[in-house]
Structure 1
Amino acid sequence: MIKSKYRWDMPQRAAEREQELTANLGLGPMVAGVLARREWDTIEEARSFLEPSVEELLDPLRMKGMAEAVDRIGRAVRDGERIRVYGDYDADGVTSTALMIRLLTELGASFDTYIPHRSREGYGLNNAALDLAAAAGVRLIITVDNGISAVEQIAYAVSLGIDVVVTDHHEPPEKLPAEAVALVNPKQKDCPYPFKGLCGAGVVFKLAHAMLGRPALEYADLAAIGTIADLMPLMGENRIIARLGLKQLRQAPIPGIQALARVAGIDIAEISSGRIGFSLAPRLNAGGRLEHADSAVKLLAAASEAEAEPYAMELDRLNAERQQLVEHTTAEADELWLKLREADGEKPRRAIVLAKEGWNAGIAGLVASKLVERYYLPAVILAIDGETGLCKGSARSIDGFDLYAALTDCADLLEHYGGHQAAAGMTLRADQVTELGDRLDLLAAERLTEEDWQPKRRVDLRVSLEDVTLSAVDQLAALEPFGNGNPTPRVVLEDVVIKEARTMGKEDKHLRLTIEQAGRSLEVVAFGMGPQRERMAPGMRVDLLGELSVNEWNGNRKTQMMFQDYRSGQLIVNDRRAERGVWTALERLIATESEGLAVACASKAAYHEAASRYGMTGVTIGLYEMAADVGIDVSSESAAAASGDKAGLPSGVRHLVLVGLPTEEREVGSLRSWLRPERELERVTVLSDGEGGSRSSVGAAGKFPERRHFAEVYTMCRQRGSWLDSPDGFVRETAEAVRLPLATVRMMHEVFVELGFIAANGVSRKAVANPPRKELSESARYRRAQEQAAVRQVAEMTTEELRSWMAACHSGA
């Protein structure tokens, strides 16, 4: 058995809804299935989703504060007042800033831009920057992607004679900056704007619509990048913006995006939400993370590719540096976390909070994401400034834990914080880090259920290989663009057989399988799962969870699956009893996968030989016969300690190697215990016992009688009518007639007595004239005898019999 890494949220088939969608919209079964799973309740809603229209863009003046913002910015343009655009250093912040540059340029405004340095200034408005603005004669500051929580800073700006228009999309705090001329944020509690999911660039896109008196479709390119990069839900207006923007990027990209795509190795004509999220956005973020975000703004504002090229190359270089820094910092953070856990002992921690001097705050969010992925706990990563004693950093959360709400409950520990349910940034004193960790730990324990601690993957469709055609996968493109809120459809292929498994890529990091089902085959790939190759043996039946796609190579197109998780209820049994050289075979097994492997020996001679050869490897080595009493017996030479487990195996064993098969009832009982489903064994390898034969006369009592044998014996009982139960009487006569051992016939008579077929009175026996109708299996004596016979026969089973018996034990039968 192999358990899945994720909790699979499997779909319930909505056949009626699928048929309705297919009939009314002419959809293929896969697309209709996805829409039905995602609960598009009406045909009109589904049609709007599939065919979003510019006409569906909402009136920007419905957004609270928009009219006041338009009025104040318009007056500043008319009066020639100096305007400063105050941005942010992430991808949403720089695209928001670049969009404001376009808008103010088009309006003929006098303006400049300012983006704070992440490490030196931190997120949002700060008084030192406001002093610089006042000294430069700025009369109006327009914030983009920040400002909604800057109560004190905006009050300070007003005291300097500077008006502030806030455009933001982050969660508003209870106390808002009331002295701002306008607060434009659809998430304000009393804002009537119906769509709340805009990013910072999306809010600027709506501001441009309001200022220009028309939808600014030519601004959709950068608005789409900001939306996708900031992981906004690709629904409603965001879906319209993303589709418009992607079309514009493919057909008429600005010089900066052309240059950035070229250094990233992207064909701009094939730009997608995935390529933005995984290639362009990290490069746009790189400047703000490691140096300054100005280079990204200058790239996006460049008038020509020649002007843009050096900025694109610089961002590409910084991104490569960022990748190395993230890898190094993640390793340090992981080491720090493991030491903390070791110091805690058995006490569980429900949140990761780590801080260290020398870390770069600009990559804290990326490192936090890595730790969330590895441990599935909310994670906070903080960089300590040794001079100020302050920590700055970022946090990432897991499903079900509202990070912003949790930080709000810890606000007394924080100098500053902001963000949303899944991600946040913060500043606090270094001496408060331990307290923050303790508080978040308690909040997570209180607010999350046991089920929440296993990551979940929502599945859209259950499919068979017959369903996975090129046409069907092509049709899924109708659901694009994919991203947050509209993820790439995730499917489960159930009960497929692995035909071939091989690793690929540098250091064999990735995995490629060929799977089969009902005469069809498919190639599936998993990135980063190369180490799983040993667990996925050819012939194994598995369920795979992943995403379907089309692989194009040299003009050829074929379907493939990128799989993310798998599971199997099958126990793989490798019967290698016929092989010579048991110790060479065992040595190879230990060398290739010592972790999660245990060895059980059928004889003391085999055990002592195995322990002397491999005791120092740390692999658990023991005897069947001692397992049930004291836990599997581990030699003094072995580095592994006995577990004391009643079933005789330490936890975490995935591969059990049997050197010989058991022949005694208590030994077989131990093996049954090891094979039971809750043990989660994945594989059993059976080798010869190293002595060239079995230890006892297995099968001396013969095989368990078949049903026809019971019928023959009972017929003789009916014919005799009555008799005395004695060793040399009717029982022996019957045994000789049917050619079965005396003990077997006596057991059969006992079964008949228990079932009411024979009446017993002392030593007298009499066949019942009208016996009850009962199955043999209803007799406890029959079941016990059957099990005892099976025990005697385990060591003599054929390969197929052994696999069937072990599979039955593994299934709990």
Structure 2
Amino acid sequence: MIKSKYRWDMPTAAAESVDELAERLGVTRLVAGVLAERGWTDVQDTIDFLEPTVEGLLDPFLMKDMRQAADRIERAVREGERIRVYGDYDADGVTSTALMIRLLTELGATFDTYIPHRSREGYGLNNEALDRAAEAGVDLLITVDNGISAVGQIAYATEIGIDVVVTDHHEPPETLPRAVALVNPKQKDCPYPFKGLCGAGVAFKLAHALLGRPMLEYADLAAIGTIADLMPLTGENRIIARLGLESMRSRPVAGVRALARVAGFEAAELSSGRIGFSLAPRLNAGGRLAHADSAVQLLTAVSEEAADVYALELDHLNQERQALVEQTFAEADGMWQSLLERKEAGRVIVLAKEGWNAGIAGLVASKLVEKYYQPAFVLAIDSQTQLCKGSGRSIEGFDLYAALKDCEDLMEHYGGHQAAAGLTLHRDRVTLLAERLDRLAEQRLKEEDWQPKRRVDLCVTLGDATLGAVEQLSRLEPFGNGNPAPRIALRDVTICDSRTMGKENQHLKFTIEQSGQSIDVVAFGMGAQRERLAPGLRIDLLGELSVNEWNGNRKVQMMFQDLRSEQLAIADRRGERSPWAAMERIAAVSSGTELLIGCASRAGLEEALGRFGESGARIGLYHPPGLERGVPDEEVRGETAAAMENGGAAQHLVLLGLPSTESEIVALKRWLAPERGLERVTVLDDPSSSSRRSTGKGSGAFPERKQFAEVYALCRKKGQWLEGPDGFLQETAQTTGLPLAVVRMMHEVFIELGFIDSRGASRKAVSDPPKRPLDESPRYRRAKEQNEERRLAEMSAEQLHLWMNGCHSRV
């Protein structure tokens, strides 16, 4: 049995709605099934979703204060006032700033831009920056991607003679700043229908308001900000993202071309995934490690030469960022492991250390969540101020912003949303924050919340995953938050073969088959799992279907996400020239605690203890306590049999020789029981024995069908008799040459099937018996199974596979 990493939230869409969508939209059932599962049941709404157009963009003046913002900016342009755009240092902030540069340039405004330094100034407006703006003669400050919480700072700006227009998309606080205009669709009294815009999206709407039309030329920047800030790709965001991607693929600006090149692809190949995983990290790198100005300069560069310089700078910073994240994660992980060992760890990971970079705290927190699936906060301590600044990331079901709100008395500052948050607090309060968050997690999270969940869009067969059907899934693009790539489950497919990929064999590719159809599955980072996924194993598979194109050939493949199996993966390696060498190779790629080693002989046990006793593997004989071939040996059995029985779950059971007695088989059945959590079994010969298994044909002593017919013919001839060991049973045994116990079993089978009438000791052959197969008799099945078990060593690989999986699936 292989347990899934995730809880699979299976689809519930009715087949009727899937069929209707497929017919009315002219799409495959694969596409229709995904749409139906995501709630797209109205045909016209679904058409609008599949074919978003510029006409779907909303009137920007539906947004609260948009008119006031536009009027104030127009006045500043008309009267030659100095404008400063105040941005943010993340990808959404720099794309918002770059978009405003395009807009104000087109308007002919007198302006400049300012982005605070992440580590020195922190997020949002600050009074020192406002003082510098006043010294520079700024009359109007326009915030992008920030400002909605800057109550005190905007009041200060007003005092020193600077008007402020806020454009933002973050959650508004209870008390709002008194600005000239607050443009944020998330305000409670804002009638704008779509609330999911990012900062660059709000700036895009401001440009529409000021220039009187949707500025499709700016959609590239708005799309990057939308995707990078993980905004839902539905509604207006879907239109913006699609328009922006089309623009970047066909008419990319110099900065986008340069950034794509350093990321290793051409702008024409851009997708939402490549923006999220390649462009956005580089745009963020400047703000995390240096200053975000270089990202703004890149996005507004006119010449290829200038764009290349900034792109290379951001690429180098991104490489530094990656190395720093790995180093900080290793330190943070070590700290958490130490807390776990000391039993001091809570339900929420809260770690703080001097020397850490606050700019990468969120990335490190994300890696901790990925490894432990617990909410995580990573905080950098400033040795001079003793303040901790950092970020948190959450799991489904635990609202970080709500949790921090309940702890706000401990913090200098905090902000964010359900999944991610930033905060500042004094180092003396870190422990108290951890304790509070731990209690909140205990109260708000249920047991099942601690296992990550994956929503499954559709369960299909391999026959449904045709090239045409998978190609049609592209109609759902762009994919991202709110509209993820379809997640497909394939049930009961069989692994045919597997092979590792990559310079260090770190990746895995395996082929799955079902009803004559087969596709490849690519599993990144799973090269070490090859032995676990043995050919012949039947699995349920979760992943994303895609089209792989190589040398002009196009075929369907799946990108792996998760799997599960009720089956044991069984490798029959009897006949290996050197069982100990095979065992050494298994031990080399397995953690000791993953292994159970069952030995068929005392000599094999002693050798196994000598070779692997220090590895952590559990090693023992088959015999349960008190049944070790007559004479107990407490010294050996006490250390090994108990370990085998009581050591908890293990993934891999290795058998050095198969059992041959009933008591040994009982022990093996216990090891194979489903509650032990085994994933695979490897069968080797007993290295201490010179004997090897037979050919696997296994004739055995169990009677064949013709022998049952012969015995029943004797019963019909006898007609009626009294039961007794020295009577007709013994006579039949002597006539047929079968053992008396076998004849008795056969008579019991005939009684169960109604071939013999039994009343007390009296027996009578039924003159017109019912036509029933022998295996309808429980006695027949039990006797046959017991006989087969006594011949385990003679079973073929296929027979052994069936028997072991039968033991594994029993309740």
| TM-score after normalising by structure 2 | 0.92
Could you say what secondary structure the match of 2:655 adopts? strand
Where does residue 82 of structure 2 map in the other structure? 82
**Deviation string for 1:55-111 (max 9, x for gaps)?**
111111111121222222222223333222111100000011111122222222222
Q: Taking structure 1 as reference, are residues 153 and 771 closer, same or farther at Cα in structure 2, changes over 3 Å only?
A: farther
8 Å CA contact retained: 1:390, 1:427: yes
After superposing the two structures, state which structure 1 stretch, 274-283 or 773-782, moved more: 773-782
CA distance in 2, matches of 1:333, 1:730: 80
CA distance in 1, matches of 2:610, 2:151: 73
Q: Taking structure 1 as reference, are residues 404 and 636 closer, same or farther at Cα in structure 2, changes over 3 Å only?
A: farther
Where does residue 126 of structure 1 map in the other structure? 126
Where does residue 701 of structure 2 map in the other structure? 703
Q: Taking structure 1 as reference, are residues 772 and 143 closer, same or farther at Cα in structure 2, changes over 3 Å only?
A: farther
- Matched AA of 1:245: G
Per-residue deviation, 1:390: 0.7
**Deviation string for 1:650-669 (max 9, x for gaps)?**
33422211112112222211
CA distance in 2, matches of 1:340, 1:16: 53
8 Å CA contact retained: 2:685, 2:692: no
Structure 1 residues 26-37: aligned runs within 5 Å: 26-37=26-37
1:249 equivalent in alignment to 2:248: yes
8 Å CA contact retained: 2:346, 2:434: no
Structure 1 residues 489-638: aligned runs within 5 Å: 489-595=486-592, 596-626=594-624
CA distance in 1, matches of 2:765, 2:158: 106
**Deviation string for 1:6-59 (max 9, x for gaps)?**
222232464322332233222233222221222212110111011111111111
Per-residue deviation, 1:526: 1.7
Q: Taking structure 1 as reference, are residues 556 and 94 closer, same or farther at Cα in structure 2, changes over 3 Å only?
A: same
Per-residue deviation, 1:288: 0.2
1:232 equivalent in alignment to 2:209: no
Where does residue 288 of structure 1 map in the other structure? 287
CA distance in 2, matches of 1:185, 1:708: 86
1:365 equivalent in alignment to 2:365: no
Could you say what secondary structure the match of 1:534 adopts? coil
8 Å CA contact retained: 1:514, 1:524: yes
CA distance in 1, matches of 2:39, 2:698: 65
- Matched AA of 1:115: I
After superposing the two structures, state which structure 1 stretch, 548-557 or 208-217, moved more: 548-557
Could you say what secondary structure the match of 2:504 adopts? helix
Q: Taking structure 1 as reference, are residues 403 and 706 closer, same or farther at Cα in structure 2, changes over 3 Å only?
A: farther
Where does residue 91 of structure 1 map in the other structure? 91
Where does residue 808 of structure 1 map in the other structure? 806
CA distance in 2, matches of 1:365, 1:785: 63
CA distance in 2, matches of 1:66, 1:120: 32
Number of equivalent positions: 802
Per-residue deviation, 1:139: 2.6
Could you say what secondary structure the match of 2:531 adopts? helix
8 Å CA contact retained: 1:615, 1:635: no
8 Å CA contact retained: 1:551, 1:559: yes
CA distance in 1, matches of 2:282, 2:9: 34
CA distance in 2, matches of 1:491, 1:326: 32
CA RMSD of aligned residues (A): 3.1
**Residue in structure 1 matching 2:378, options 377, 381, 387:** 381
8 Å CA contact retained: 1:86, 1:113: yes
Per-residue deviation, 1:503: 1.3
**Deviation string for 1:179-202 (max 9, x for gaps)?**
222211111122111101100000
Where does residue 142 of structure 2 map in the other structure? 142
Per-residue deviation, 1:750: 5.9
8 Å CA contact retained: 2:575, 2:692: no
Per-residue deviation, 1:270: 1.8
Where does residue 212 of structure 2 map in the other structure? 213
8 Å CA contact retained: 2:624, 2:667: no
Could you say what secondary structure the match of 1:593 adopts? coil
Structure 1, unaligned runs of 5 or more:
none
Per-residue deviation, 1:491: 1.8
8 Å CA contact retained: 2:721, 2:764: no
CA distance in 2, matches of 1:232, 1:711: 75
CA distance in 2, matches of 1:467, 1:780: 41
Where does residue 152 of structure 1 map in the other structure? 152
Structure 2, unaligned runs of 5 or more:
none
Per-residue deviation, 1:766: 4.0
8 Å CA contact retained: 1:628, 1:670: no
Per-residue deviation, 1:582: 2.7
- Matched AA of 1:736: Q
Per-residue deviation, 1:721: 5.9
**Deviation string for 1:705-754 (max 9, x for gaps)?**
56776666566556656545443222211222343211233345567778
CA distance in 2, matches of 1:247, 1:10: 34
Q: Taking structure 1 as reference, are residues 769 and 491 closer, same or farther at Cα in structure 2, changes over 3 Å only?
A: closer
Where does residue 468 of structure 2 map in the other structure? 471
**Deviation string for 1:434-475 (max 9, x for gaps)?**
122222222222222222222222222333333333332222
Q: Taking structure 1 as reference, are residues 188 and 660 closer, same or farther at Cα in structure 2, changes over 3 Å only?
A: same
Where does residue 343 of structure 1 map in the other structure? 342
1:169 equivalent in alignment to 2:169: yes
Q: Taking structure 1 as reference, are residues 277 and 659 closer, same or farther at Cα in structure 2, changes over 3 Å only?
A: same
1:311 equivalent in alignment to 2:310: yes
Per-residue deviation, 1:788: 4.1
Could you say what secondary structure the match of 1:508 adopts? coil
CA distance in 2, matches of 1:787, 1:24: 55
After superposing the two structures, state which structure 1 stretch, 534-543 or 120-129, moved more: 534-543
**Deviation string for 1:584-608 (max 9, x for gaps)?**
3323322333541221111212212
Where does residue 743 of structure 1 map in the other structure? 741
CA distance in 2, matches of 1:452, 1:576: 41
Q: Taking structure 1 as reference, are residues 235 and 789 closer, same or farther at Cα in structure 2, changes over 3 Å only?
A: same
**Deviation string for 1:378-409 (max 9, x for gaps)?**
11111111111111111111122222111112
8 Å CA contact retained: 1:628, 1:648: no
Where does residue 687 of structure 1 map in the other structure? 684
1:482 equivalent in alignment to 2:479: yes
After superposing the two structures, state which structure 1 stretch, 116-125 or 128-137, moved more: 128-137
Where does residue 20 of structure 2 map in the other structure? 20
CA distance in 2, matches of 1:37, 1:27: 15
Per-residue deviation, 1:367: 0.9
Where does residue 457 of structure 1 map in the other structure? 454
After superposing the two structures, state which structure 1 stretch, 54-63 or 720-729, moved more: 720-729
1:671 equivalent in alignment to 2:668: yes
CA distance in 1, matches of 2:379, 2:768: 80
CA distance in 1, matches of 2:250, 2:810: 60
Q: Taking structure 1 as reference, are residues 809 and 772 closer, same or farther at Cα in structure 2, changes over 3 Å only?
A: same
Per-residue deviation, 1:223: 0.4
CA distance in 1, matches of 2:503, 2:159: 59
Could you say what secondary structure the match of 1:169 adopts? coil
**Deviation string for 1:272-327 (max 9, x for gaps)?**
11111111111110000001111111222223222322221111110111111111
CA distance in 2, matches of 1:20, 1:568: 33
CA distance in 2, matches of 1:93, 1:255: 19
After superposing the two structures, state which structure 1 stretch, 106-115 or 466-475, moved more: 466-475
Per-residue deviation, 1:172: 1.6
8 Å CA contact retained: 1:459, 1:490: yes
Could you say what secondary structure the match of 1:507 adopts? coil
Where does residue 10 of structure 2 map in the other structure? 10
8 Å CA contact retained: 2:623, 2:641: no
CA distance in 2, matches of 1:550, 1:27: 18
8 Å CA contact retained: 2:621, 2:640: no
Where does residue 651 of structure 1 map in the other structure? 648
CA distance in 2, matches of 1:72, 1:344: 59
